[in-house]
Amino acid sequence: MPLQVSDYTWQQTKTSVFISVPLRGVSVRDADVFCTENYLKVNFPPFLFEVFLCAPIDDENSKAKIGNDTIIFTLYKKEVAMWETLSLSGVDKEMMQRIREKSILQAQERAKEATEAKAAARREDQKYALNVMMQIEEEERKKIEDMKENERMKATKELEAWKECQRKAEEQKRIHREEKFCEQEKQIEDERKKLKHKSHTRISASRNLATKATKVFKRRNSENIFLEKLKENSIPAPRSVGSIKINFTPRVFPTALRESQVAEEEEWLHKQAEARRALNTDIPELSDLKEEEKNPEWLKDKGNKLFATENYLAAINAYNLAIRLNNKIPLLYLNRAACHLKLKNLHKAIEDSSKALELLTPPVADNANGRMKAHIRRGTAFCQLELYVEGLQDYEAALKIDPSNEIVQNDAEKIRNIIQGTELKS
């Protein structure tokens, strides 16, 4: 229960009240002042000082000075009058409570108003700043527009001026020409007068006149022709006819070439080629082969025979043709790989064995034989290329298929030794 403080002192003038409350040694920090129009409270534990004011005060302008172990309040009265007592008389507990609550509410409201006012002020400031920014930008834009307008005016004026110039020049030329024409006309007139004086017949006069006119005309014409001739002398004769034959960079599509479409076009062409191969009926080179020679099976047998007689190149040809006709038969690739091995075309052997293996999926018992052969051939090729590790991999795959094959086992051992040998050396 806080202790009520009652040894405070107070003075007043007409407009203000001074209250002095001793702090009794409590530190300044702990003093909490709460003041509304009718109610003043200072809470400095364990002390409590509160007073219900006789008349309302202006709590916004009133001050509290805390220091020197006292608090001095300077309260400005709302009405100018002298108070009889500082606090209201005849206040009971209920009233006190009510006044307290009212004061708290008042304080809260005031606080709320204050924050709202602050927020409104801030919004106003922002809007103002934005407006100013926009104005500045508008001015910039206008400036540029004005400059452009000026340029436009200037250009139009210059154009008009230049046109005037041109026109005047044209005028001059025309006047000059007309003058010349007038002169010539005058000449004709003079001649005519002379003729008249010579008293020729009218007909001959007119004839002469006509001839004079035609003479003048012809003269002018000849002048012109002369002028033109001069010009033509400075321009060379038309070129002698020639023709250049050209070739174009080949392009299948009739549309224009675009880089972004090249990939799509390539794919399309590739697919077309595949489809065409599938229909193999009219490949031109095959037109002069016999019927049986177009059969991949027959070609495969032929290839085998050629292989047996060590005619490897021919065998490869046979296999090539067979593959062209039907490129899904793994045996063809296997056999071709064997030919390549014999011919020491090691990379091609590897390629073909790989293709055969691809075609021999899924790995089942049926194609075990073929797969083993493929692995062995590929392994051999790797070893001959001195890629022993890859070769060993293939040999081990072969062994997995058929662990009982002695030759493969021996070869695998040999390779392992070679690998270990090189490792020891290095």
Q: How far is the CB of 166 from another protein (least distance, A)?
A: 7
Choose the stretch contacting another protein; rule: CB under 8 A; options: 88-96, 158-166, 218-226, 366-374. Answer: 158-166
For residue 242, state whether it binds another protein (rule: CB under 8 A). Answer: yes
Cβ atoms of 76 and 15 closer than 8 Å = yes
Please name which of 288, 406, 268 lies closest in space to residue 276, comparing C-alpha atoms: 268
**Rounded Cα–Cα distance for residues 388 and 363 (Å):** 25
Phi, psi dihedral angles at 371 (to 5 degrees): -65, -40
- Selected range binding another protein among 157-165, 289-297, 332-340, 354-362, rule: CB under 8 A: 157-165
Q: Are 64 and 34 in contact (CB under 8 A)?
A: no
Question: Is-cis flag, bond preceding 46, omega within 30?
Answer: yes
Cβ contacts of 347 within 8 Å, gap of 6 or more: 381, 385
Nearer to another protein, 256 or 424 (CB): 256
Token pair recorded at residue 296? 């991949």
Residues in the chain: 426
Indicate whether 239 belongs to the interface with another protein (CB under 8 A).
Answer: yes
| Interaction between residue 236 and another protein (CB under 8 A) | yes
210 is an interface residue for another protein by CB under 8 A: no
Find the binding residues for another protein in span 29-48 (CB under 8 A): none
Measured from the CB atom, is 249 or 281 closer to another protein? 249
- In terms of CB distance, is 15 or 166 closer to another protein? 166
How many residues sit close enough to another protein to count as binding (CB under 8 A)?
A: 37
Kindly state the helix (H) or strand (E) to which residue 268 belongs, with its residue range: helix 262-278
Nearest to 310 by CA among 267, 268, 353, 339: 339
- The yes or no reply on residue 240 touching another protein (CB under 8 A) is yes
Whole-number Å distance between alpha carbons of 319 and 339: 10
The window from 85-93, 142-150, 197-205, 275-283 that contacts another protein (CB under 8 A) reads 142-150
Q: How far is the CB of 227 from another protein (least distance, A)?
A: 11
CB nearer to another protein: pick between 254 and 403 = 254
Residue 116's identity, in one-letter code, is E
The yes or no reply on residue 223 touching another protein (CB under 8 A) is no
Q: Is residue 246 at the binding interface for another protein, with CB under 8 A as the rule?
A: yes
Q: How far apart are CA 286 and CA 321, in angstroms?
A: 9
Among 65, 123, 251, 277, binds another protein (CB under 8 A): 251
Binding positions for another protein, rule: CB under 8 A: 144, 147-148, 151-152, 155-156, 158-160, 162-163, 166, 235-251, 255-260, 262
